[in-house]
Structures are given as structure tokens and as C-alpha cells.
Amino acid sequence: KQEVTQIPAALSVPEGENLVLNCSFTDSAIYNLQWFRQDPGKGLTSLLLIQSSQREQTSGRLNASLDKSSGRSTLYIAASQPGDSATYLCAVKDRSYNTDKLIFGTGTRLQVFP
Amino acid sequence: DAGVIQSPRHEVTEMGQEVTLRCKPISGHDYLFWYRQTMMRGLELLIYFNNNVPIDDSGMPEDRFSAKMPNASFSTLKIQPSEPRDSAVYFCASSSPYRGYGYTFGSGTRLTVV
């Protein structure tokens, strides 16, 4: 059974720092991995989608890497800003014939202070 | 692209009443998912559809919950009768194999049962 873990659970940093959020999964047979952002009281916004054949994806100040063999993904946030404060969730889609669902981690709650 | 549209945004109802949540997926997406989010349990998959057919409803908590997808552009999640423990945020999401199975979430319905 696939399990997804995110470390740390919470992070508080001053503005301007470069950050790394970690996501690990137990079964390397994944179809893709997706990073989401959730603001308090809001829905989930997709940030980056990495297919199993890819090693990384970039969008602006965000870079996500994927290492299937070690069961890890990292989300790198460059030059953090207070507007980056949110909960970040990673989720994997198993490469399975009988399921199409995403399995979510518990999230990292990020606070960036001025 | 209007994204995934959910209604209502907020719902407050009395215990025992019927509640119906609605979702319009992104046009062309053939997968639709219903999730529930609480502080205690995080994101839970309730049910998902492929081409309007329910594929996995193992996450539906009990018979009080039912979901339908009468056509490709509309789905409902019904709770009858509602109970206070059903209070949560309910999210709908859609995806497509032609978009790499990336999920797009709606803004959610915050349900409060008093």
C-alpha cells in the first residue's frame, strides 16, 4: 500500500530564504507526482506535475525534482516571499491497473515572515 | 477554461436534513473525484468516476452518502440524512489522461451540520 510522507510538518522562515520541502513515497511504481498549494480556507491549486519519466519541473521560483528509485521528491522555493505562506501538499498517482486515485501526503505548513 | 466549479460554496444545515453538493468538471476531463477534508483526517477520497461510471466508492463513509454523474458535465454528492460529523470541506476534482492525469480541484463546499 502506497504511503506518502512530508517533512517537515511545519516551517517558519524569514523572507528571502531558499526553501526545500520534502516528500517521500513507499512504492516507486508511480505514474506521476503532483505538488499543490492550499491557502487557509481555500481549495488546492496545482503547482507542478511531474510524470514518472521526468526528473524535474520548473515554474517561476518553484522547482520540483523526482527520484523514483529512492522514493523522493523535493519542492524548491527560491527567494521566498510572505505570499508563499500556505500548506504545500504532494500527491502520487500509482501505476496501478485498478486505481486512478491520488494518494496525498499530510502537507507542510509554510510561514514566511517579513 | 473556467476550471472545476462547485456549488454552493458554503452550506449550513440542520441535522437530519438532506444536503446536495454539485460539481461541474473541466470540459473534456473524463475523470471526476469527490474528496472530503477535515483537520483530523486530512484529504479522503470518497468516490471517483470515469466516463460518468462510478469506479471506486470504497471511501464513501456509509449509506447516507450517495453520488451520481448523470452526464459528463455534472455530478452530485448527496448526504441524507446529514449528521454533525459530516461537517467538512468537500472538494471535487477532475483529470484527463490527455493532460497527464494532472488533477484540477474546485474551490470546495464548506458544509456545517448543526
- For all residues of chain A together, what is the average pLDDT? 92
Chain B CB within 8 Å of residue A37 CB: no
| Whether residue B80 has pLDDT greater than 70 | yes
Chain B CB within 8 Å of residue A101 CB: yes
Q: Indicate the DSSP class of residue A53.
A: T
User: Quick one: average pLDDT of A46-60?
Assistant: 94
A94 and A38 Cβ atoms separated by less than 8 Å? no
User: Quick one: average pLDDT of A41-70?
Assistant: 94
Q: Which of A31, A44, A49 sits opposite B105 (nearest CB)?
A: A44
| Whether residue B99 has pLDDT greater than 90 | no
- Which positions in chain B touch A100 (Cβ < 8 Å)? 31, 48, 50, 55, 95, 101
pLDDT reported for residue B1: 65
